[in-house]
Amino acid sequence: MQSSLVESQTMLQLKCPNCSREFVRRVARVGLRERLAGWFYIYPFKCQICGFRFRFLQWGVRYMRVEEDHREYDRMAMNFPVTFRGDQFEGEGSVLNISMGGCSFSTAGQLKVGAIMRLELKMSNEAGPVVVEAAVLRHWHNQIAGVEFIQWRQGERERLQLFVRGLLIGRRS
Ligand SMILES: [Zn+2]
């Protein structure tokens, strides 16, 4: 992680213009225009809760390069069961980290990059699983799957938002 102290301290004061929550993260600049804007202290940010992307001017603050993988969400480490089901396959695994954009899980099953699957994230014993209607397998290595969430059923994304928000609050204190 290359993120600097300046970056983390400043980000705590920034709020998302869309949902007013304060969990925003500086993200990689896209395109020449944003790269030029960096010279004028304008940087792109992304809300970790609602996904809103915005630019923000901060006089005198220059950011270090963000992490090289260009992920726009922080992924938080954890461990809870997940089941997955695709056209011709199904199985179960254990979630290793999660964000609003996707998750990684380990599984004994066999998967192929590009596979589309429905996920049931069993993060709580009290409430039912959070259902991701469609996720696509982006990475598959050493029995660890990296999936991106691409389609939600009504209300399920909001349930995950509450969960992720709770994690972010817990991590901060
Ligand atoms: Zn937001």
Each residue's pLDDT tens digit, 34-50: 777 666 667 788 888 78
Pick from 126, 80, 88: nearest CA to 104:
80
Spatial separation of the C-alpha atoms in residues 164 and 162, rounded to whole Å: 6
The residue ranking higher by pLDDT, 101 or 70, is: 101
Q: Ligand 1 center to residue 113 CA distance, Å?
A: 30
Q: What is the pLDDT of residues 106-154, one digit of tens each?
A: 999 999 998 999 999 998 888 889 999 999 898 999 999 999 888 888 8
The residue ranking higher by pLDDT, 70 or 33, is: 33
First to last CA, the chain: 21
Q: Ligand 1 center to residue 87 CA distance, Å?
A: 34
Q: Ligand 1 center to residue 122 CA distance, Å?
A: 24
Q: Ligand 1 center to residue 97 CA distance, Å?
A: 21
Q: Ligand 1 center to residue 47 CA distance, Å?
A: 5
Task: State the pLDDT confidence band at 56, using cuts at 50, 70 and 90.
Answer: confident
pLDDT at 67 exceeding the cut of 50: no
In the prediction, which pLDDT does 143 show?
96
Q: How many residues does the chain have?
A: 173
Q: Which two tokens stand for residue 102?
A: 């996707």
Residue with tokens 């950011």: 63
Secondary structure of the chain: what % helix, strand, coil (to 5)?
20, 40, 40
Q: Ligand 1 center to residue 15 CA distance, Å?
A: 8
Q: Ligand 1 center to residue 17 CA distance, Å?
A: 7
Work out the average pLDDT over 56-68: 56
Q: Ligand 1 center to residue 98 CA distance, Å?
A: 17
